[in-house]
Amino acid sequence: MTLPHIPVLRRGQVYESLEKVEIKSVRTGESVVEISHANAGIIRRDMRRIGDARAALRKFSCAELVAIAKKAGEHFLHSTLPLGDQTQSPQDYIEQLSATSGLPHILIRRNMGKIYQVFTEMETILRGLTRGLDLTVIDRGSGEQQGVPVSYYAATEALGVVLPSNSPGVNSLWMPALVMKIPVVLKPGREEPWTPFRIIQSFIAAGCPADAFSFYPTDHEGSGAVMDTCGRALIFGDEATVQRYAGNPGVSVHGPGRSKVLIGNDEAENWPQYVDLIAQSIAENGGRSCVNASCVITPRHADALADALARRLAEIRPVPATDESAQLAGFANPKMAQFIDQAITQGLQTAGAEDITAEYRTDPRIQELDGSTYLLPTIVRCNNFSHPLANREFLFPYASVLEIPQDKMLEQIGPSLVVTGITHDPGFSDALVGSPNIDRLNLGPLPTTRVQWDQPHEGNLFEFLYRRRAIQRAGN
Amino acid sequence: MSSSNRLNLTPAQAQEALDAHVREIVQWHFSPETGSPFWLDWVKQAGWDPTTEIQGYADLVKFPHFQDEWLRDELNERWVPRAYVGRPYYVFETGGTTGMPKQRIGWEDQFRDYEEFSETLDDEHFPRGGNWLMLGPTGPRRLRLCIEHLAHVRGGVCYHVDLDPRWVKRLIADKEFAMANKYKDHAVEQGATLLKNRKISCLFTTPKLLEALDEKINVPDAGIKGVFCGGTQMTPQNVRFLVEEVLDNRAQFVPTYGNTLMGLACSRPLSPDDNWSITYYAPQPRAVLRVVDPDNTTETVGYGDWGRVELTTLTKEFFMPRFLERDEAVRREPWGPYGWDGVGEVRPFGAMQSTTIEGVY
């Protein structure tokens, strides 16, 4: 069988580039797929006619697009879909993605479930994002909401997205744009072209116009072209990326999540009850998501809590990718695992931090299994928040545990994508609600990884893509 | 040797002609009556006599690699062959993003290079009497003068836009991407304005500027029939994009590989059948390109293999043996009128390992 080829999609049109990149299995080193790469010029040129893509979407009502999305979800989960000049069954997708990303099959299946939910819960998602706006307002451009005249117009002809490779779930962030009639221009992560391509094929199979999808595997310059030419863009990256686009209202940057679990004074004595929940927050989805907790703060018993978490997480070991009990993901690039391992080892040389998990394992943090490189879950007890390992996020189950008085917590935590506040204290709850540093707040014992579809994530996509204008009509 | 004499030779004839040319040029540069102070001083401490030991191109491996620092550190007078003493010369610069640039002096080489190149151009796409736009690096670069000369040789005039590639490189190195783009826009807008207001049918520009020009104006609709393009790496995909989309298969695209030290290498005609891969042929015998093993530069790599590009320039004005270019390429076989090796898919040396700032030029 010949190697599958993933083409460029230029407003839905298949384009085979002369520049192709082969992506290899992280386990066997064998080529898994050949991917056409778009040069930046193609992207810039195509974007001049992106208005055609939006016009194709505008022929549908939002209600029709919601129905299409629902059907697309079924295709995503169950259908054999086009993959270049070949086809891809759901099982092919799992195996191919696992081979290039290192994700175990079970985690991919869970992510498929999440993506399926986004497809099928689109109406709920839109209701949350628009605060219950009648979707015909988007169709017509104006209408009423709670008796008040409203008018919305698209702030862009397309949403550009520069995707990472860490988890298929991140694709859920751009999917609602289609139902809001905004075409997408996607630059997939190097090791993860599979999920966005399959989502696109699912939408098309369900009746969404192909014109709405541009898919550009590309280089750094091409990513820049996506960012520069789309009126609105999402990008995932590190602190440097966040800095680069800070203050650019057309770019929504998804940087490190630095999600946290905070325990209030009132629940500090009850810490043993929360060990499972915190461990889940740290380790779910292989610890690769921005919503995974990377820091746990309690006013008391930090040593005991760190010890219990370390013991629990040390039970997680690498297993073959097909093992249904798998919880860890291998690294697509072993050098990344080595870099992270060295960063932690180096950080531990600064006084005030101890790797508690080290006591519960006899072997090194970095492991190899079936040709794949893994990092074992790591809990580091830090004695102050300014320690280099205290507010770090890594691409595996990692968290620091700190003891900080409740009244000092919020002034120290810094920007945090998700905070789970374990407290019944109305005063502390109010303080959490009032904190400008918290993007998503879970009040009570909810894992940081729990996502509710009617809640916005790192900014409100509807407000990012649409602007409200004042509207008045003269009476008859 | 004129263009018509040097082309359409068999590889054996081309080799014979090259060997004779090498002997003539080495005699010239190492004879006290005609040679330059630099080479005459060099030979005093070399311990061997090139005029007797160099009998052909293959013997040039006896020379060490030419050091481009010499072009920065030596005074220009030191490069003047005795036979040219008293004749004013042109000074052309290369590189020099920061600090003192490298300089090459010349009298007429640049004109001969472009006159010969002119004979390879297709009159249908680069019409005789047609005017040119030079939208590329200007200032102390040889190219600026040469494109104007090319236009004149073909009976037209040349319009220019100022462009300083050193400033662009500096902006990119400083991560001032917005400013670099602004400068590019500034240059391209001037080019577009000239195309709108003057009768121009031929264009010299770089691949990136051609792409940027396309964002301002439809290049074939503006009257451009032929584009002579060079300055940066061109991947097959880039070439295909420029030919099929930017030029809409309506204007001819002629890529070139050249620099101040070599002159101008011609490409074999582009074709989708070759997957748009570019192969260049040096203006032999005045300059020779060899693809060498980077770890053992006396060895030429096999046909189809990658290696580092080595340039030897052999004119009476300038002798430069075995200069290692900052490029790598695939060694290609002689083709058509070119009875010598070609270099294909040229890209910055180590491009697969590191990032090189190319800017717009």
Query: What's the token pair of residue A431?
Result: 């303080």
Choose among B215, B236, B275: nearest Cβ to A44. Answer: B215
Question: Which of B89, A322, A282, A342 has its CA nearest to residue A274?
Answer: A282
Residues of A in contact with B206 (CB under 8 A): none
Residue in the block written with tokens 């180590």: B350
Which of B9-13, B163-167, B176-180 holds the top average pLDDT? B9-13
The reply to whether A182 and A287 lie within a common domain is no
User: How high is the pLDDT of residue A39?
Assistant: 96
Q: Is residue B33 part of a domain?
A: no
Euclidean distance between CA atoms B310 and B328, whole angstroms: 9
Residue B34 placed within a domain: no
ipTM of the modeled complex: 0.84
- B235 contacts in A (CB within 8 Å)? 18-19, 39
Residues A37 and A62 in one domain: yes
Q: Is A19 on the interface with B (CB under 8 A)?
A: yes
Interface with chain B: mutation pick from A39, A216, A241, highest number of B CBs within 10 Å? A39
Are residues A264 and A212 part of one domain? no
| Residue in A18, A37, A41 closest to B275 by CB | A18
- Interchain CB distance below 8 Å, B235 and A18: yes
d(CA A289, CA B112): 63
Q: How many CB atoms lie within 10 A of CB A138?
A: 25
End-to-end CA distance of chain B: 31
Interface of A with B in 356-395 (CB under 8 A): none
CA-to-CA distance for A279 and A276, rounded, in angstroms? 5
Give yes or no for a contact between B136 and B202, defined as CB atoms under 8 angstroms apart.
Answer: no
Given a cut of 60, is residue B353 above it in pLDDT? no
Q: Note whether A39 contacts B236, CB cutoff 8 Å.
A: no
Give chain B positions within 8 Å (CB) of A41.
211, 214, 238, 241-242, 245-246
Average pLDDT rounded to a whole number, residues A445-473: 87
A425 CB-near residues (< 8 Å, 6+ apart): A264, A265, A266
H-helix segments, A38-183:
40-47, 50-58, 62-78, 90-101, 105-120, 122-130, 136-140, 175-179
Domain count across chain B: 1
Identify the CA nearest to B142 among candidates B76, B107, B203, B93: B93
- Across the interface, do B241 and A41 touch by the CB < 8 Å criterion? yes
The 10s digit of each residue's pLDDT in A164-215 is: 888 898 999 999 999 999 999 999 999 899 999 999 999 999 999 999 999 9
Same domain for A214 and A327, yes or no, is: no
pLDDT at A162: 95
Residue A98's domain spans which residues? 5-255+458-469
Asked, for residue A322, whether it belongs to a domain, the answer is yes
Pairing outcome for strands A466-469 and B102-106: unpaired
Segment B47-58 shows an average pLDDT of: 96
The pLDDT score that the predictor gives to residue A207 is 98
Residue B177 clears pLDDT 90, i.e. is over it: no
Reported confidence tier of residue B358, pLDDT bands at 50, 70, 90: very low
* Greatest mean pLDDT range, A262-266, B165-169, B231-235: A262-266
Comparing B97 with A197, which gets the higher pLDDT? A197
Does residue A323 lie in a domain region? yes
Q: Does residue B354 surpass a pLDDT of 80?
A: no
Residue B6 lies in a domain: no
A41 and B275: CB-CB below 8 Å?
A: no
Examine residue A238 and state whether it is found in any structural domain, yes or no.
yes
Judge contact between B21 and B55, C-beta under 8 A: no
CATH number at residue B203: 3.40.50.12780
pLDDT given for residue B3 in this prediction: 52
On whether the CB atoms of residues A186 and A174 are closer than 8 A, the answer is yes
Spatial strand order in the sheet of A378-382: A353-355, A378-382, A398-403, A293-298, A259-263, A416-422, A438-443
Q: What range does the domain containing B181 cover? A: 88-348
Predicted local distance difference test score (pLDDT) of residue A298: 98
**Strand ranges (DSSP E) for B107-260?**
132-135, 158-160, 202-205, 226-229, 252-255, 257-259
A452: its two tokens:
């509710």
Domain assignment present for residue B353? The answer is no
* pLDDT computed for residue A457 by the predictor: 72
Q: Is A39 on the interface with B (CB under 8 A)?
A: yes
Instruction: Give the pLDDT of residue B259.
Output: 83
Q: What CATH code is carried by the domain that includes residue A429? A: 3.40.309.10
pLDDT of residue A246: 83
Asked whether residue B292 is assigned to any structural domain, the reply reads yes
- Token readout for A178 is 């289609």
Q: Which helix (H) or strand (E) holds A13?
A: strand A13-15
Please give the Cα distance from A7 to A197 (Å, whole number). Answer: 9
- Are B214 and A18 in contact (CB < 8 Å)? no
How far away is chain B from the Cα of A243, in angstroms, using its nearest Cα? 13
Q: Measure CB to CB from residue A18 to each of B177, B215, B236 and give the nearest one.
A: B236
For residue A445, the one-letter residue type is P
Q: B336 in the Ramachandran plot: left (φ > 0), alpha (ψ -120 to 50) or beta?
A: left
Task: Write the CATH number for A38.
Answer: 3.40.605.10
- A17 to chain B, any CB pair closer than 8 A? The answer is yes
Q: Does B143 or A379 have the greater pLDDT score?
A: A379
Structural domain contains residue A175 = yes
DSSP 8-state symbol, B64: P
In a domain, B72, yes or no: no
Q: CB within 8 A of A431, min separation 6: which ones?
A: A410
My answer on whether A341 and A398 are in the same domain is yes
Answer yes or no: do A213 and A323 share one domain.
no
Residue A41 in contact with partner chain B when CB distance is under 8 A: yes
Instruction: Give the up-direction half-sphere exposure of residue B186: CA atoms within 13 A in the CB hemisphere.
Output: 10
A476 pLDDT band, cuts 50/70/90, is low
- Are A26 and A80 found together in one domain? yes
Q: Which two tokens stand for residue B104?
A: 């090459």
Interatomic CA distance for residues B310 and B265, integer angstroms:
13
Lowest mean pLDDT of A116-130, A243-257, B79-93, name the range. Answer: A243-257
Question: Distance between CA B39 and CA B234 in Å, rounded?
Answer: 36
Give the pLDDT confidence score for residue B301 in this predicted structure: 97
Query: Residue B65's pLDDT band (boundaries 50, 70, 90)?
Result: very high
CA B4 to centroid of chain Cα atoms? 20
CB of A155 closer than 8 Å to CB of A467 = yes
Indicate whether B182 belongs to any domain.
yes
Tokens of A124: 């709920």
In a domain, A60, yes or no: yes
Domain count, chain A: 2
Q: Which residues of B touch A17 (CB under 8 A)?
A: 237
Residue A185: CB atoms within 10 Å? 29
**Residue A474 touches chain B, beta carbons under 8 Å:** no
Pairs across A and B, CB distance < 8 A: 31
Tell the burial category of A363 from Cβ atoms under 10 Å away from its Cβ (0-12, 13-18, 19+).
Answer: exposed
* Contacts with A19 from chain B: Cβ below 8 Å: 235-237
Q: Spell out which residues of chain B touch residue A222, defining contact as CB-CB under 8 Å.
A: none
Is the pLDDT at B357 greater than 60? The verdict is no
Shortest CA distance from B234: residue in chain A:
A39
- What band does B204 get if pLDDT is binned at 50, 70 and 90? very high
Amino acid identity for residue B285 in this structure: P
Tell me: do A291 and A244 sit in the same domain: no
Instruction: Give B352's pLDDT tier (boundaries 50, 70, 90).
Output: low
**Is A37 near chain B, with CB under 8 Å?**
yes
Asked if A364 and A249 sit in the same domain, the reply is no
Looking at the structure, do residues A272 and A369 belong to the same domain, yes or no? yes
Domain assignment present for A476: no
Q: Is B218 inside any structural domain?
A: yes
**pLDDT tens-place string over residues A70-115:** 999 999 999 999 999 899 999 999 999 999 999 999 999 999 999 9
Q: Kindly determine whether residue A18 and residue B242, on different chains, have CB atoms separated by under 8 Å.
A: no
Interatomic CA distance for residues A57 and A48, integer angstroms: 17
Query: Strand pairing partners for A144?
Result: A149
- Indicate the Cα dihedral angle A177, A182, A183, A188, nearest 10°: -30
> Are A311 and A410 in a shared domain?
yes
Q: How confident is the model at residue A244 (pLDDT cuts 50, 70, 90)?
A: confident
pLDDT above 70 covers a percentage of chain A that reads 100
Q: Is the dihedral of CA A366, A368, A373, A374 positive or negative?
A: negative
A332 and A355, same domain (yes or no): yes
Closest residue in chain B to residue A224, using alpha carbons only: B177
Answer whether B237 touches A (CB < 8 Å).
yes
